[in-house]
Structure 1
Amino acid sequence: MFTAAFTTMVVLVGLQLAVRGEAHAISWLALPPLVASAFMAWRWVVGIGLVSLGGAFIAVWVVHSFNAFAMVDHAVDLLVVSAAVAIAAAIAVVREREDERLRELTQLASVVQQAILRPIDNRLGPFDIAARYVSSRSGAEIGGDLYEALDTEFGARIIIGDVRGKGLDAVRLSSTVLGSFRHVAFERPEQRSMIADLDRAVARGADDEDFVTAVLAQERGGTLEIVNCGHPAPMLVRDGVATYLVPESMAPPLGLGPAARELTVRLQPGDRIFLYTDGLAEARRAGEFFPIKDRAWSLIGHGNVGDGLASLETALRRWVGGPLTDDIALLLLDYRPESD
């Protein structure tokens, strides 16, 4: 940026010297500091501005054959450059303050998110498990994506969900759902009772139009019981083939009175269960959705589960080719009962 600004100044001063008094290129020297104010620290902006102003005086001085009185002809040009330097410095100062404020808010949002989404152990009952939160990096906004995995006396219990909306209200509702899940998962032997408790917790803590889509899963004796409350369907990856686990009828989201409808899957050693939020389901490039089902085996079907999620995120960002439009929560479970 500094090199470009300096080059521009040299060109403009040279142009004025070449045409002498036939054209006024001096006022264009207001551009380098103004452009620099959008990208550079205010000290650099002031430096570029002073160099521009000095170049303007030199060009006028030379054009008028070192006649100080004749410089009055270019007084307006010099005033324009001087004003541009002052304005550019002020813009740079304000921008730096706003950038610092945004960085602080983003760090705070990250801390809040990490406090709600506690780290998950890499072993849960008969599963090797990995979790990953993929941020869309949309400023200081916080998403309502959530997940948790607990080993209880009733079996391994997992939840993944997405709160409608963003910001502090979404975080508050996400915290409500996770807090309730962490309690009832150890108290209710059946998922139907858990979902009823979670639904009441959301209904109490949400506005009229708020809800939470979620998938709850429970493993007992090699059988996985899944309840889907308006959430993107989980995926089973088995023997190189990926299959969506779609129930005959989907329950409404939490907060809208879901009636639990369980889908039962008999697990085999080596099966992988992939759960995710709609940020992945809706990721697209030029209107084409990310082909997660076609690439599931190559990305997450084998190897370490943590490495699999990392590979998936890399492939997704390359596919989108730009910033993601929504945060994404990912859970990957590898059924390894022999490791118990």
Structure 2
Amino acid sequence: MGHRLRHPVKGRFREPRLALLPVPFALIALVTTVDVLAPPGVHLGPFLVAAPALTASFSGPRMTGFVGAVAVLAQAVVAVVRTNLTDLNHTIQIVALVLISVFVTLFAHLREVHERQLTQLRSVAQAAQQVVLRPLRERMGPLRLASVYLAAEAEAQIGGDLYAATRTPDSTRLIIGDVRGKGLEAVGEAALVLGAFRAAAHQEADLPGLVAHLEAAVVADPDDPYEANGEVAPYDGGDASDWHREQFTTAAVLDVPDRDMTLRLVSCGHPPPLLLRGGRVLPLEVDHPAPPLGLTEFADGGFAAQSFPFERGDVVLLYTDGVIEARNAAGDFYPLAERAADWPGDGPEALLRHLCADLLAHSPGGHLGDDAAMVAIERIG
């Protein structure tokens, strides 16, 4: 399955704007006709300002200025037909229409500049995230893998969803996580976690040791001026319960042995993976979950791995909270476990295709409010 999916509606966001272009011209024609035919005491010219104002809400400065010029020309025609251009009432209407058209054209220019800046920023963030999120191999040992990344709307900031998989001599190790926050800062934090995972997955003998390495990498962030010098950030006098590191990452880290029909899981504040077996969906909830990475001050002890059966033909679904927190028009969350149970069973790629289509159908207009990622793992050997 493709590594990254975008909403199909994004490529067509200009089509509704093009469909609206006849509206201001129709409005100008209607107001002009009625104003010419109206009794002498009735003046509808002020309504012409609605044409350039409406255009500025969906089009650029050139079209807005053009519509404003057409509206001014229409007002001049009305003045000539009804009285003359030097009539005080029509002169004031024309001057006011020119000023308002200039104002809304400037507004359309500023809005277009802002949209261009947002598009450039998001392109940079997406490029950075594409470097961070490498495509997963379809086969790793006795496993078949599929992954998908669903981007939120263009107006939303890109998130810090992450996933990766790597091989050891006798197992496959995987991670899925979600960095608190948005934008390039979240992407940078995701890169830090993934870099630490790829470096330590081959070195740490056990899963708790690997997660402890990730925790140490997150806490010892060299970009933090206090942590880099081995200092403690100053207390600002606020509530002591709120005095902690603001950046953290929820994560689920798995180790799947090649010869043992089990998987080992350490959960750090992340939604539980789902095990699909024989039409049933079972959440893999650990007995002793750890806090998210970066919040060691709240940990009661070390990291503990818990084992779950993972037999041939089973599929494990990993996901971020952007999936289960997607709402429909009624405000209901997406029922992931229930929809996964409807999957007929034909490999991890088919599962993700099924869930992606269903998730976008669940969200109003197929628009997600937050980025979402899913990884499906099937044991075939």
TM-score bracket relative to the smaller structure: over 0.9
Task: Identify the residue that residue 158 of structure 1 maps to in structure 2.
Answer: 174
1:100 maps to 2:116: yes
1:125 maps to 2:141: yes
Deviation of 1:100 after TM superposition, in Å, equals: 1.7
Please give the alpha-carbon distance, in whole angstroms, between the structure 2 residues aligned to 1:302 and 1:132. 18
Equivalent in 289, 312, 317 of residue 269 of structure 1: 312
CA displacement, residues 49-75 of structure 1 (integer Å, 9 cap, x when unaligned): 1211111011111111xx454x23321
Percent of aligned pairs with the same amino acid: 32
Question: Mean Cα displacement is larger for which, 285-294 or 103-112?
Answer: 285-294
Alignment of 1:1-340 (within 5 A): 1-64=20-83, 67-69=84-86, 71-139=87-155, 141-205=157-221, 208-220=245-257, 221=259, 222-257=261-296, 259-285=302-328, 286-299=330-343, 302-322=345-365, 323-337=367-381
CA displacement, residues 132-171 of structure 1 (integer Å, 9 cap, x when unaligned): 1111125362211110011111410000111122223222
After the TM superposition, list the runs of 4 or more consecutive aligned residues in structure 1 that deviate by more than 6 angstroms.
Answer: none
TM-score (norm 1): 0.93
Task: Identify the residue that residue 11 of structure 2 maps to in structure 1.
Answer: none
Please give the alpha-carbon distance, in whole angstroms, between the structure 2 residues aligned to 1:293 and 1:283. 13
Q: Indicate if the aligned counterparts of 1:13 and 1:26 stay in contact, CA closer than 8 A.
A: yes
Q: Indicate if the aligned counterparts of 1:102 and 1:140 stay in contact, CA closer than 8 A.
A: no
Please give the alpha-carbon distance, in whole angstroms, between the structure 2 residues aligned to 1:196 and 1:154. 21
- The residue matched to 1:247 in structure 2 has which SS? coil
Question: Mean Cα displacement is larger for which, 33-42 or 202-211?
Answer: 202-211
TM-score (norm 2): 0.83
Please give the alpha-carbon distance, in whole angstroms, between the structure 1 residues aligned to 2:27 and 2:355. 44
Deviation of 1:183 after TM superposition, in Å, equals: 0.5
Question: Mean Cα displacement is larger for which, 25-34 or 93-102?
Answer: 93-102
Deviation of 1:201 after TM superposition, in Å, equals: 0.8
CA displacement, residues 206-264 of structure 1 (integer Å, 9 cap, x when unaligned): 77232211111111122211111111000000001000011122122222335222221
CA displacement, residues 246-305 of structure 1 (integer Å, 9 cap, x when unaligned): 112212222233522222122221100000111112222323221111121334x62242
**Equivalent position amino acid for 2:22 in 1:** T
**Equivalent position amino acid for 1:251 in 2:** A
- The residue matched to 1:60 in structure 2 has which SS? helix
Unaligned runs of 5+ in 2: 1-19, 225-243
| Cα distance change of structure 1 residues 99 and 256 upon mapping to structure 2, 3 Å threshold | closer
Number of matched pairs: 333
Q: Indicate if the aligned counterparts of 1:34 and 1:85 stay in contact, CA closer than 8 A.
A: yes
Unaligned runs of 5+ in 1: none
**Equivalent position amino acid for 1:216 in 2:** V
Please give the alpha-carbon distance, in whole angstroms, between the structure 1 residues aligned to 2:96 and 2:53. 12
- The residue matched to 2:149 in structure 1 has which SS? strand
CA displacement, residues 107-153 of structure 1 (integer Å, 9 cap, x when unaligned): 11110110111111111111110111111125362211110011111
CA displacement, residues 3-59 of structure 1 (integer Å, 9 cap, x when unaligned): 111111111112211224211211211110111011113222222112111110111
Q: Indicate if the aligned counterparts of 1:20 and 1:63 stay in contact, CA closer than 8 A.
A: no
Q: Indicate if the aligned counterparts of 2:251 and 2:293 stay in contact, CA closer than 8 A.
A: yes
**Equivalent position amino acid for 2:137 in 1:** D
Please give the alpha-carbon distance, in whole angstroms, between the structure 1 residues aligned to 2:295 and 2:362. 35
Q: Indicate if the aligned counterparts of 1:230 and 1:250 stay in contact, CA closer than 8 A.
A: yes
- The residue matched to 1:22 in structure 2 has which SS? coil
